[in-house]
Homo-oligomer: A and B are copies of this chain.
Amino acid sequence: MGKKNKAFVEKITAMEDDFAQWYTDVVKQAELVDYGQVRGTMIIKPYGYAIWENIKDELDRMIKATGHSNVAFPLFIPESLLQKEKDHVEGFAPEVAWVTHGGDEELVEKIAVRPTSEVLFCDYYAKNIHSYRDLPKLYNQWGNVVRWEKTTRPFLRSSEFHWQEGHTAHATDADASQETDRMLEVYADLVEKYLAIPVLRGRKTDKEKFAGAKYTLTIEALMHDGKALQSGTSHHFGSGFAEAFNITYLDENGKSQYVHQTSWGLSTRIMGALIMVHGDNRGLVVPPRIAPTQAMIVPIAQHKEGVLDKAYDLRDQLQSILRVDIDASDKMPGWKFNEYEMKGIPVRIEMGPKDIEKEQVVLVRRDTGEKEFVALNELESRLPALLEEIQQNLYDKALAHRNEKTTVATTMDEFKQTLDEKGGFIKAMWCGDVACEEKIKEETTATSRCIPFEAEKVADTCVCCGKEAKEMVYWAKAY
């Protein structure tokens, strides 16, 4: 048995040795995803999907609580429709999967499998918005989209991915701004409070904004390896799409006006953040609030009389308190310990003959490995508190890691050296010129992640060209 346990653990590469391989190993060993047959597609397995479902349910609740309605728009976009907004089609056309045949017949017009659904919503809004009374339109949909990527990795960049995309239309630019802010805050809330991942909130540079947007807001998270991951975006379109699609309404004075639009999306990519922020060399670590199983009961010496009965009783007793399960299979406890550590289940509850005698159990935290003995009659109060402690600890650790890996650079030498030595976020001033942004990317592979909402001044001049600086930007290598 010792051997078997070892073999199990050995399947995971240490993250210090090869972070990319560690990621792939965790995805596989924690049974999150398998590869589809078509390049870059994912099979999201039961455990991976259960985590995603918990994230989804929470976000869906938040989206509805902010007044949005769910809808389902088609998977297919006629080519001519996709081409209506120039910047948008330029941004997406290179990654579109095209349907050209239905059954044996060649189609008259080829059809895009939606890479995103702006044009479908615009077409609908153009037909269905007439008066200021029709506004705002606050729609959201959960679905799948396809982007024909060259290099793919599970969750992080897949040919097909799952997400929600919100599409809204408003009477004024200010209303659309408010919506763009509101939904970014919803994302930040979800990711910080439920996924226990601290995020930077800010605006993308023009170079990095969404194709067709006036501006893009983003939340950015820092992974364990010091690379950033864009975790959710909220776009203000102004009236750009409205002009291209002729989406107008009559205002209260009977005057025709263009609507002002937004869109915002959060995808299965966030699962990648979850893995790379909290995971360790024993596998995944799932924050309690989104864990499908928050505590796993592992009976010890379960062949002994009464142990299994007591363990099942315990499960029944705890079921109304938290999401609890029991593994009463004939595998050895050590094997079970490894499996549930790999899956990142927040708490393990061990219960053996001695514990039963003493009317106690052993609780083992996944995040710190700490053990504590808890009397059975205190469990119902201790467990929820422990879950909250774990949730908070995960957030605190991630925040400490991000703080430790956030560095000011005032020269390109500092910039490069910091990036080489410790990665992470570089705070550096920027003149606002895209040429400097491109040069930084070329020389360092770091990209601008965001211009934070709370402006900072860490120097007077642009880190790249030395001219007068306009804004402080967070830079990082990114997924």
Contacts and interface: CB of A to CB of B under 8 A. Distances in A.
Interface of A: 34, 36-38, 41-46, 49-50, 52-53, 69-78, 81, 93-104, 110-111, 113, 120, 123-124, 128, 139, 143-144, 146, 148, 159-160, 162
Q: Give the copy number.
A: 2
A160 B75 contact: yes
Nearest to A94: B103
A71 B46 CA distance: 5
A85 to B, nearest CB: 15
B36 A49 contact: no
Which of A76, A78, A101, A143 has most chain B Cβ within 10 Å?
Answer: A76
Contact of A77 (B38, B93, B110, B146): B38
Contacts of A160: 74-76
Contact of A37 (B78, B97, B139): B78
Contacts of A42: 72, 74
A74 B43 contact: yes
Contacts of A159: 76
Contact of A75 (B41, B74, B77, B123): B41
Contact of A72 (B44, B76, B139): B44
Contacts of A123: 37
The residue in A50, A74, A101 that gathers the most chain B C-beta atoms within 10 A of its C-beta is A74
Given A74-B38, A144-B75, A46 B139 contact: yes
Given A43-B72, A45-B71, A99-B113, 11 more contacts: A36-B74, A37-B123, A38-B77, A41-B75, A95-B102, A96-B103, A97-B102, A101-B110, A102-B148, A103-B148, A144-B144
Contacts of A98: 99-102
A69 B49 contact: yes
A46 B72 contact: no
27 contacts: A34-B124, A36-B73, A36-B76, A37-B77, A37-B120, A41-B74, A42-B74, A43-B73, A43-B120, A44-B71, A45-B71, A46-B69, A46-B139, A49-B69, A50-B69, A72-B162, A74-B160, A75-B160, A76-B159, A94-B103, A95-B102, A97-B99, A97-B102, A100-B100, A100-B101, A103-B148, A143-B144
